[in-house]
Structure 1
Amino acid sequence: MRAFFDSDLWWSFTRSPVTVISAVVAFICIAGAVFATWLAPHNPFDLASLQLMDAFKPPAWEAEGDGTYLLGTDDQGRDVLSAIMYGARVSLLVGFAAVAFSTILGVSLGLLAGYLGGTVDAVLMRIADIQLTFPGILVALLVDGIVRAALPRDMHENIALFVVIFAIGISNWPQFARTVRGSTMVERNKEYVQAARVIGRSPLSIMLSHVLPNVMSPVLVIATLSLGFAILAEATLSFLGVGVPPTQPSLGTLIRIGNDFLFSGEWWITIFPGVALIVMVLSVNLLGDWLRDALNPKLR
């Protein structure tokens, strides 16, 4: 632990006020989502506690606001602040799971393509090139639609969360694969890899024990930046009505619900979830930008 605090990475972190603020904001967002059960003022999805008479209450600082509901309530009387905290939990869960899936898939295929080369490299990279010609959200929509069409309708709600994670993850693997493939092609010709071949190490052992640790730095940067994309992609899918089920609403679902009342004066129902989404994604992206610069030896 002391070695980390004495490292250049920690020095770079503490010398960047924007990065420190972004880290604090991201920590608050993640902590609020993870501990929503204990931190949220209300449970917005407990039907027994909802009161329709409390619907459409404005934020507490408005003339007709109620101090019990700091950011107001929606059309069903749910506390908007609590709904944001519970919704952020779903958005972050999908984001982290989708990034983990795309990282594992992309790194594995990139290692194979870069180390083995030849036909394996050509086939995998052509698939990646074809997928990169389409926007990521379009690929996610296509995969989501195909999976839902292939499964029975009564299963859709139960597996909707897994379908969204798969759709977003599968749309983002080419970035990891191409980056790892390029780094692997450089590493496989170095002396330590040739020495491992001479002593009889298997290709799989060489890839996992020797090459993989040396190509992980750019992967960490891409994963951090991809988290923001995954959260936005999930919000977009949920806003379009093909994301997580209404029983597990995310920030995108809350924005879609509030959008129906935006022009009738209940602006807070959609504005506050939208602001929460922007703040969360912006803080994560700023951390990713800092990490990219901090791990770049040319900028040290």
Structure 2
Amino acid sequence: MAEIQAETRGRLASLADSDLWHSFKGSPVTIASALVALLLVLGALLAPVVAPHNPFDLASLDIMAANLPPVWAEGGDPAYPLGTDDQGRDVLSAILYGARISLLVGFASVLLSILIGVSLGLVSGYVGGRLDAVIMRVADVQLSFPAILIALLIDGAARGLLPRDLHESLALYVLVFAIGFSGWVQYARTVRGATMVESRKEYVQAAQIIGIGPATILRRHILPNVMGPVLVIATIHLAIAIITEATLSFLGVGVPPTSPSLGTLIRFGNEYLFSGQWWISIFPGVVLVLLVLSVNLLGDWLRDALNPRLR
């Protein structure tokens, strides 16, 4: 136990002395972005605990409390700090629960993109030849289309092939696959270039000489050395995935209304925006902007901090 504590203290000490930590604490914008992102993520994860109400429990909804303004406006109710929508659902609680869906889709789609892109990039860069040419030409073709269009095509094809009674239950999985598949190209191209560089180094050639298989070389030797740029891309891609999910949900092809995300809440509120109930749409939109902006700023900082040319 003492050895584990000593090892933990040693790792914390090395982290405190690292260039990455010094870069982080020296940037007020990065610290503020990290605090905002952490606050939003914790609020989403702890939504069942911190949310004043459960907005999707039909038994607890009060239709007489519909369309209440925020608490500081005339007619506001302290029980609903950010007001209610046309169904009497608490806007603050709906935002917390909706952020959970947005973050879930964002993280899951980024992990899927990493899995596809890193795997294809490793194989393409290490094997080369015709396989490399085929993978890169497919990537070039996909790059010629916007990611949102690819996601729309995949989502539309899935809705046409799946039975109608499964649309709602599988909507979240289809959305994750659509966004994840539309974003693998950047990972594949980056990993391919790094793999081509690493595969020519002496440690890889030595592993080949002693008879280690290609799969082991890729997993144990090359993959750890190409993950740095992947983490930077993933941080920035997370913000793009959240925006893509919000866009699809706003268009009505995202998550089902029974488990709305931030994009769905904005779409619902948009119908009442010009009738005076501005809070139904504005507050989810502000939270979405803060979430995406904070993640983007963290991604920009991580990219600069890991770039040796900027040190």
TM-score bucket of the superposed structures, by smaller chain? over 0.9
| Counterpart selection for 1:62 from 70, 73, 91 | 73
CA separation in 1, counterparts of 2:17 and 2:97?
Answer: 37
Q: Which residue of 2 aligns with 1:153?
A: 164
1:298 deviates by: 0.4
1:6 deviates by: 1.5
CA separation in 2, counterparts of 1:19 and 1:116?
Answer: 40
Deviations along 1:212-262, one digit per CA (max 9) or x if unpaired, are 111000000000000000001111111111100111100000000000000
CA separation in 2, counterparts of 1:208 and 1:25?
Answer: 35
- DSSP-derived class of the 2:178 partner: helix
1:280 deviates by: 0.3
Matched, 1:36 2:47: yes
- DSSP-derived class of the 2:239 partner: helix
Q: Which residue of 2 aligns with 1:25?
A: 36
1:67 deviates by: 1.0
CA separation in 1, counterparts of 2:250 and 2:131?
Answer: 38
Matched, 1:176 2:214: no
**Quick one: percent identity of the two aligned structures?**
67
CA separation in 1, counterparts of 2:124 and 2:267?
Answer: 41
Matched, 1:144 2:151: no
CA separation in 1, counterparts of 2:61 and 2:165?
Answer: 28
CA separation in 1, counterparts of 2:252 and 2:167?
Answer: 13
Aligned residue pairs, count = 300
Q: Which residue of 1 aligns with 2:58?
A: 47
Q: Which residue of 1 aligns with 2:198?
A: 187
CA separation in 2, counterparts of 1:63 and 1:54?
Answer: 14
CA separation in 2, counterparts of 1:123 and 1:6?
Answer: 45
CA separation in 1, counterparts of 2:130 and 2:35?
Answer: 47
CA RMSD of aligned residues (A): 0.5
| Counterpart selection for 1:7 from 18, 37, 40 | 18
Report 1:88-127 matches (<5 A): 88-127=99-138
1:4 deviates by: 1.6
CA separation in 1, counterparts of 2:259 and 2:136?
Answer: 37
Matched, 1:196 2:207: yes
| Counterpart selection for 1:253 from 241, 264, 278 | 264
CA separation in 1, counterparts of 2:221 and 2:58?
Answer: 54
1:72 deviates by: 0.4
CA separation in 1, counterparts of 2:132 and 2:204?
Answer: 19
- DSSP-derived class of the 2:257 partner: coil
| Counterpart selection for 1:87 from 98, 122, 133 | 98
Deviations along 1:34-90, one digit per CA (max 9) or x if unpaired, are 000000011101111101110000000001111111110000000000000000000
Q: Which residue of 2 aligns with 1:76?
A: 87
CA separation in 2, counterparts of 1:152 and 1:4?
Answer: 52
The runs of 4+ residues in structure 1 deviating greater than 3 Å are none
Q: Which residue of 2 aligns with 1:16?
A: 27
Matched, 1:167 2:166: no
Unaligned runs of 5+ in 1: none
CA separation in 2, counterparts of 1:137 and 1:49?
Answer: 37
1:147 deviates by: 1.0
Q: Which residue of 2 aligns with 1:222?
A: 233
- The one-letter code sitting in structure 2 at the alignment partner of 1:240 is L
1:5 deviates by: 1.8
With normalisation by structure 2, the TM-score equals 0.96
Unaligned runs of 5+ in 2: 1-10
- The one-letter code sitting in structure 1 at the alignment partner of 2:69 is P
With normalisation by structure 1, the TM-score equals 0.99
Q: Which residue of 2 aligns with 1:239?
A: 250
CA separation in 2, counterparts of 1:5 and 1:92?
Answer: 29
1:154 deviates by: 0.6
